[in-house]
Amino acid sequence: MIRVSPTKSKLIETKRSLKLAREGHTLLDKKRNVLIRELMQLIDEAKEVQNQTEKVFEVAYKALIEANVYLGIENVQEIGLGIDEFDDLQIRLRSVMGVEVPEMEKVEEHINISYGFTKTNAKLDVARKAFNEVLNLTAKLTEIETSVYRLAVEIKRTQRRVNALEYVLIPEYDEIVKFIESYLEETERDDFFRMKRLKQRRDA
């Protein structure tokens, strides 16, 4: 049973609410579609970055093995211990339909060679460059994974709101509008016939 006051003011108020609900549904639907499109692009990008990471890992380990052979494992380990740990990952945030997702600067822009050239060779340089790229790709994968998670959460939240509007609120407002319009039309007809009967009695 619809329990509302079937008045013209209530009808105007409900129609206004219905219009806002439909506009909100349209905007949320567009937002959801944009988020889904962004999510799918990130998933495709993640696959590409994962493939790149596997290839670069292969190059990096091969170069490291060759450096160990030419320079000796102990020398390579000593050089590695002399390199500072990287802890300066720069992260920015960008907004996708109100969802903040991270963007990381390339690691290679911040790492400098910290060993001499006299006791090393090109193999170590190749390994350093490859592992540096692995670090960069790993950071990129982390960025994508975080973005995918945040977008997925927002898509789920937006979908719930879209469903609430589409299947609950908008139908409810529609029913109220139909009920009030029907009630007012019936009341107007009753008033019309009542006035007609009164007129007929006066004329008799």
Any domain includes 204: no
Tokens coding 201: 């009695």
**Is 42 inside a domain boundary?**
yes
Q: Residue 122: inside a domain, yes or no?
A: yes
With a cut of 70, list the residues of the chain below it in pLDDT.
1-2, 80-88, 107-121, 192, 200, 203-204
Model pLDDT, residue 37: 96
Residue 3 is assigned to a structural domain of this protein: no
- Residue 88 is assigned to a structural domain of this protein: yes
Q: What's the domain range around 47? A: 9-195
Q: Note whether residue 200 is domain-resident.
A: no
Confidence (pLDDT) at 175:
94
Instruction: Name the burial class of residue 15, with classes exposed (0-12), middle (13-18) and buried (19+) by CB atoms within 10 angstroms of its CB.
Output: middle
Closest among 134, 130, 127, 131 to 71, alpha carbons compared:
127
Residue 82 lies in a domain: yes
pLDDT at 69: 84
The count of domains in the chain is: 1
